[in-house]
Amino acid sequence: MTQDTVTVTPPVIILLRPQLGANIGACARAMKNCGLYELRLVAPRDGWPNPEAAPMASSATDILDSAELYDDLASAMHDVTLAFATTARMRDMVKPVINPREAAQKTVEAPQSSGGRVAYMFGAERSGMDNDEAVMADFIVSADLNPAFSSLNLAQAVLMMAWEWRMAALATKPSKDANDDWPELATIQDRDYFFARFEKMLDERGFFATAEMAPIVKRNLRAFFSRGTPTKQEIRTLQGVLTNLERDKGAQ
């Protein structure tokens, strides 16, 4: 087999609540076409493994065999420090929106020394990605397709993102020393733990005026804290602030 010439670490592909096994198989084939091998599945509708996946994967069944299964998105991003949510819809939150080519460039430029991974997230076939999932990403990725018909099937979306990554990776000459001084970034799971704790504290103190507005305010807060791609130390500092506030409340 011909050896791949790409030397940049590829992103992981995360499929959120995928519905059809055949679509998962087609995604695996698209991944292998472009040199991506790590597939993570979050709560697939029909369970996993799925017998309908292998026929569509063709010679990419090795990706299916090594696919990791998770119950929730935060767990699937336990080692992810930079995440891209692929969606055609705008959200009621402030998130930078970029195209697939820009996402690919940011992926290959991501620091390697921090130990974190980059993830491309894809929503379910019928409903796409919901707001609470999209807010966990650092960037929203939207392709400038025909506005009269912009819908892609799941494997097409994966192939578009994977091919753009491959083109950017082939044009990149990685340097082993380029990111040696880069601080260790917080994973998406680290951030999610802080956010959940912070939101619980705000709930307990009656911060949210109405139940209807609470989800929007919570997403806006998550988007705000994620905008700077926090380091592990910064998240630890914020956790310390919460611990101090909890202690003060208990002393009253």
The CATH number of residue 58's host domain is 3.40.1280.10
* Residue 66 forms part of a structural domain: yes
Mean pLDDT over all residues of the chain? Answer: 89
Strand order in the sheet with 117-122: 68-70, 39-42, 12-16, 117-122, 80-86, 139-141, 97-98
Contact by Cβ (8 Å): 95, 140: yes
For range 237-241, the mean pLDDT: 93
* Residue 225 forms part of a structural domain: yes
pLDDT score for 183: 78
CA torsion sign for 154, 40, 175, 6 is: negative
pLDDT score for 223: 86
For residues 221 and 124, state if they share a domain. Answer: no
For residues 117 and 67, state if they share a domain. Answer: yes
Q: Tally the domains of the chain.
A: 2
Amino acid at 108: V
pLDDT, tens digit, for every residue of 24-34?
999 999 999 99
Read off φ and ψ for residue 158, nearest 5 degrees. -65, -45
* Residue 175 forms part of a structural domain: no
Residue 92 has pLDDT above 70, yes or no: no
pLDDT score for 89: 65
Tokens of 61: 């069944």
* Residue 41 forms part of a structural domain: yes
- Give the domain range for residue 124: 12-170
pLDDT, tens digit, for every residue of 45-60?
999 999 999 999 999 9
pLDDT score for 216: 87
For residues 193 and 165, state if they share a domain. Answer: no
For residues 138 and 230, state if they share a domain. Answer: no
* Residue 177 forms part of a structural domain: no
For range 99-105, the mean pLDDT: 97
Domain boundary among 117, 144, 170: 170
Residue 62 has pLDDT above 70, yes or no: yes
State how far the Cα of 243 lies from the Cα of 234, in Å rounded to an integer: 14
For residues 158 and 197, state if they share a domain. Answer: no
Residue 178 has pLDDT above 60, yes or no: no
pLDDT score for 112: 63
For range 198-207, the mean pLDDT: 91
For residues 205 and 242, state if they share a domain. Answer: yes
| 3-class state of residue 68 by DSSP | strand
For range 119-131, the mean pLDDT: 91
- Which residue is listed with tokens 């307990």? 204
Band (pLDDT 50/70/90 cuts) for residue 190 is very high
For residues 76 and 135, state if they share a domain. Answer: yes
Residue 249 has pLDDT above 70, yes or no: no
Nearest alpha-carbon partner for 94 in 49, 51, 140, 59: 140
* Residue 206 forms part of a structural domain: yes
* Percent of the chain residues past pLDDT 70, beyond the cut: 89
For residues 64 and 120, state if they share a domain. Answer: yes
* Residue 75 forms part of a structural domain: yes
Q: Who has greater pLDDT, 116 or 19?
A: 19
For residues 130 and 24, state if they share a domain. Answer: yes
For residues 18 and 92, state if they share a domain. Answer: yes
For residues 145 and 227, state if they share a domain. Answer: no
Enter the pTM of the model.
0.88
Cis peptide before 183 (omega within 30 of 0): no
Residue 174 has pLDDT above 70, yes or no: no
| 3-class state of residue 148 by DSSP | coil
* Residue 43 forms part of a structural domain: yes
Residue 175 has pLDDT above 80, yes or no: no
Phi-psi region of 70 (alpha: psi -120 to 50; beta: other; left: phi over 0): beta
Band (pLDDT 50/70/90 cuts) for residue 117 is very high
pLDDT score for 84: 97
Residue 185 has pLDDT above 60, yes or no: yes
